Amino acid sequence: MDNTTHSNPHSQQDALPSCFSGCQPAALILDNVAWSPYKDKPLLAPIRLTVNAGEFVAVVGPNGSGKTSLLRCLYRVNKPTAGQVLMDGKNIWALSARQCAQRIATVLQDTGAEFGLSVFEMIEIGLTPKSTNWKRTDEDVDVINDVLTLLDVSHLVNRSFSSLSGGERQRVMIARALVQNPDILILDEPTNHLDIRHQLEVLELLATLPCTIIVSLHDLSLASAYADRVLVMKEGQMQDYSTPKSAFTQEQIRQVFDVETVIDEHPITQRPRFSFYLNNKQLNKKHLNAKQLDKKQD
């Protein structure tokens, strides 16, 4: 595990919601996990790895590499066609959906309209897995308000969720997951729709949480800056699972993403930083295709 500190590891620590006081971060073991909806076409090749309790793991790879399919195996939607997912040694499919929801929270790419609920009502849903009744206590309301402040959405509390922008919806869904007081938090592209400042604020917050974090990201620089370990995927297969410095080499980025990169060290985080470009062969092919298209149009 990479022991390099984040750029501002204590910026949010004092403001953590009180619900995290009882957090018990869980370890996950993927024991040769494979999945596919087809009998003769595997979409996820067998994956074996361990996510230690409290780690921040980023899953990266090009479109179609299997990132979302893998995450769906981890939060008990895709049942592995082979192998098993173990949470603190227990197969998650031996647990009930409610038992899993009491420990695992998710933030998905598609938020939907959610039937006209208000922002407060949307976030309140996060309390459901651990609630014994529908009556909310003052402590429940305090937790919701704390999380609203953390995600900078307090001013939206009375708005209809369906009226929000994509970025606002994303922050509300992250707030709902935090209210759930998860031991494992799984996020599928949580920085989609967010501007640069909110991307950094959200990841900075996630990096301070005591729970185990597994997040898929397109931005390699963000993955490098915040993750303890990186799972690199391509065509449904694990290519690497190591620290950002070990995983993000020029050769690996070339093979997985088909781009060239210049790698240096970020002056603040001391993590790898990237400048991407297409190689000459790729550029020449692009220009040739453009010329051929121009001739056809002429």
Structure confidence by residue, pLDDT tens digits, 101-135: 999 999 998 766 566 899 999 999 998 887 766 67
Token pair 């998650």 in the structure block, residue? 92
Task: Please check whether residue 184 lies inside any domain of the structure.
Answer: yes
Q: What is the pLDDT of residue 290?
A: 65
Q: What is the pLDDT of residue 131?
A: 76
Q: Domains in the chain: how many in total?
A: 1
Residue 287 pLDDT > 80: no
Does pTM surpass 0.85? yes
Task: Please check whether residue 122 lies inside any domain of the structure.
Answer: yes
Task: Report d(CA 291, CA 133) in Å as an integer.
Answer: 67
Question: 31 and 84 in contact (C-beta within 8 Å)?
Answer: yes
Mean pLDDT of the chain: 87
CATH number at residue 142: 3.40.50.300
Task: Please check whether residue 8 lies inside any domain of the structure.
Answer: no
Domain that holds residue 185: 13-256
Task: Report d(CA 17, CA 277) in Å as an integer.
Answer: 42
Task: Please check whether residue 107 lies inside any domain of the structure.
Answer: yes
Q: What is the pLDDT of residue 197?
A: 92
Task: Please check whether residue 1 lies inside any domain of the structure.
Answer: no
Task: Please check whether residue 161 lies inside any domain of the structure.
Answer: yes
Q: What is the CA radius of gyration of the chain?
A: 21
Joined together, the tokens standing for residue 75 give 């939060």
Amino acid at 199: Q
pLDDT digits (tens, 9 = 90+) for 32-90: 999 999 888 889 999 999 999 999 999 999 999 999 999 999 999 999 999 999 999 99
Task: For strands 28-35 and 272-277, give the pairing.
Answer: unpaired
Q: What is the pLDDT of residue 282?
A: 59
